Chains A and B, each alone.
Chain A
Amino acid sequence: MSRKGCRRRKKKSSASPKNSPNNKSKSPSGEDDKERFRDDHETVCLIEDAIQPTVDIGNLRRLAVERGLVNRRLRKRCWPLLLGSGADSTPQHSTCEREYTLSREFSSSKSSSAISPDSKEEETEVQVDKYEEWHQVDHRDRHVVEVDVERSLWSFTEGMSDERRSELRQELSRVLNATVGRYAGFDTGVQVHYYQGLHDVASVLMMELGSEIGAFQLLSQLVVLHLRDCTKPSLEPVLELLQLVWPLLSFQDSGLSLHLQRMGLPAYFSLSWFITWFAHDVKALKVASRLFDFFLASHPLMPLYLGVSAMQAMRQPLLACMEMHEAHALLSHIDITGDLMPPLEELMSSAVRLMQHLSPLGLVERSLNTLPPMTLCVVPWATWIDETQCWQLPSTTPRVIRAVHQHQHQGLQRLLSRFPGWQAPGWQAPDNESALLSKEEGDDTSSSLRRGVYHNRKRPRVLMALSKGGMVSMYVVAAVIAGYAMVKGGFGKEFGVY
């Protein structure tokens, strides 16, 4: 048995489409080196083009996903841009409303001085001033930070002297405390709590950027965006969110999903994927930074998509697991660049494809069939706002409403009318122009699903609707991102507000 499994595995890695996987550092030939150098050089030029003279954020995000940001210099410049800050050349950014603003004081100073080219520098200075204060703020988890930092930075610091490492640990501890301290004065809903794993993320930022302040600035944005669900007072929102692994895996590979669920495997094997962006188990900074390029430019759920793609790659060993603990051990310390995996670039593209086939909202919609409606997490509803060039999250989990029959739909309309500016989709397929801004490709047969994206003028957010033509009923799914209502209809389901 085992021999067979082994041979298969070996075959798989050698038969992978790219013969010289660029993430595997083992003895690359000179040819490969040259080729990579050329590729990198080309990528650098493309990135330079994307950020100068003005920032083309769409282009930059695409490059970060598809090619990576290559080196430290570019990452220093581009990582903040990917989170929607530091884009001083896009004045529109500062004037747009940012509902989920990173820090109120700064966003207000930003909008008032947006025209001045010095505004960014000033802002940085203010931050540096305050940084001293923030990292001394007392908070619940100071002790946890301390014990975590003591055990940190074993990765990414190979060959470093103990003295240097302990200096870096002090920096790391300040970065973490300041990140929590920065939000300490806000309402409880906005406050940020430390969790074990955040320091893995912080280590990557710090080591790659080579700057304590730089790491702090990025981290303090991440904790209210991509990592928002992790920094709540408890990790419950993350636990809820991780359940999405199952519908996602089922979509990709229902056999594997069934096999793992049958053995009673909790979805928490994916915990460190999501809360540390794989940084907990990645050993090389180069790989971690490449993953961070990818995740910073992607939807916050991308770590789960990448993880599920990796699960697919290790399908055989997973199917060979008969007991829950075996599968847990394999998955929770997944080696994303290990022998079982395709080259990292390939793995990332398959995650992107998976997200194209099943968007986060589509995933949430699918999950409604098998999971209880989510009530705590907000990250699955993250949307990229072109106007502001940043991610936006609802401040609470959208509610779920199911409507099947026409009278229920009327109820739905009444409900939506309570949200000023919102328009419910018509009972017939919503081809009304003011409502339907974009249609799913492939269009228009009555049996196919149609997707409408609804805008609300007052709150620049999205209402998504799926409608299914047909005699008997209409299928309505809508997520009101900032209106805090998610509307879902389905065959035979009772109308209700959850």
Chain B
Amino acid sequence: MEEDFDRELKVLVVGNGGVGKTSMIRRFAKGIYTDEYKKTIGVDFLEKALFVDELQEEVRFMLWDTAGQEEFDAITRTYYRGAGAAVIAFSTTDRASFDAVAMWKSKVEAECGEIAVALVQNKVDLVDQAVVSATEVETLARKLGLKLYRTCVKEGINVTEVFVYLAELNQRKQQAAQPPVEMLPSKPKVLSAEPAENSITVDSGDNRAQTVDLAPSKKRTKGKKSLKDRMSSCSVA
């Protein structure tokens, strides 16, 4: 089936605890919102397929949700490998989460190199409780060279846009990094499970790590469906 040849994009969602990372991912992947979210222990995974007009292609987003507490860093870092994009989220009502943005960016860069990153200010509906000003957020975004999205996950405002932007940016970065000859989608690459391979790309300044990591996952084999598909078809049958 055609969908087995989707483009895949591994997206990390990082940021301090309680800023709404899980809610954002659920909103995007399942279109739902509820207050009853538990905090994430370690890392969680969800996926979502979406046709991205700008790319004229369906993208399968592999969404990795991470725990915010610093203690979990060693764990979450393990899952950074191979990411093509990242969301750095903070909350309008949590000053510490805003102050931590630069740190999250450098954590992502240390593991993944210069991948596509977007800055997300969540809970913009709670302006009356805001502890960061619009100007300082914009200044920070400019300083870090990140596109800023103001979202309200609760109302579903601007959420999908973040991920569409990341898919585009990822595509652009990929094209810039790789000479056209090598862009043949049929070129098989083996994604090694070994930790060392692509993880040390700190300060390399180029986008190689990201392109190398993405290429293999674009190609899905043997008509295999996602686990979710299989599980749901199972329970119906």
Contacts and interface: CB of A to CB of B under 8 A. Distances in A.
A155 B71 CA distance: 24
Contact of A2 (B43, B72, B194, B234): B234
User: Max chain B CB contacts within 10 Å: which of A7, A197, A234, A324?
Assistant: A197
A355 to B, nearest CB: 24
Main SS at interface, chain A: helix
Nearest to A235: B71
Contacts of A322: 224
A271 B44 CA distance: 11
A3 to B, nearest CB: 5
Contacts of B64: 325
Interface size class of B (residues with CB under 8 A): 35 or more
A297 to B, nearest CB: 24
Contacts of B233: 2-3, 6
B41 interface: yes
A196 B75 contact: no
A268 B17 contact: no
B231 to A, nearest CB: 8
B234 A9 contact: yes
A263 B193 contact: yes
A322 B96 CA distance: 39
A419 interface: no
Interface string A298-339: 000000000000000000010011101110111011000000
Interface residues of A, number: 48
A141 B39 CA distance: 15
B38 interface: yes
Contact of B18 (A151, A155, A239, A275): A151
A147 interface: yes
A325 B220 CA distance: 14
B47 A325 contact: yes
Interface string A1-16: 1110111010000000
Contact of A195 (B46, B71, B235): B71
Contact of A235 (B75, B224, B234): B75
B74 A239 contact: yes
Interface string A61-79: 0000000000000000000
29 contacts: A2-B234, A5-B230, A5-B234, A141-B69, A143-B96, A144-B69, A150-B18, A151-B18, A152-B38, A154-B36, A154-B37, A195-B71, A196-B17, A235-B71, A235-B74, A236-B74, A239-B75, A264-B193, A268-B42, A275-B41, A276-B41, A321-B227, A322-B224, A324-B193, A328-B43, A329-B46, A332-B41, A332-B45, A333-B44
Interface of B: 17-18, 36-47, 62, 64, 67-69, 71-72, 74-75, 78-79, 94, 96, 193-194, 224-227, 230-231, 233-235, 237
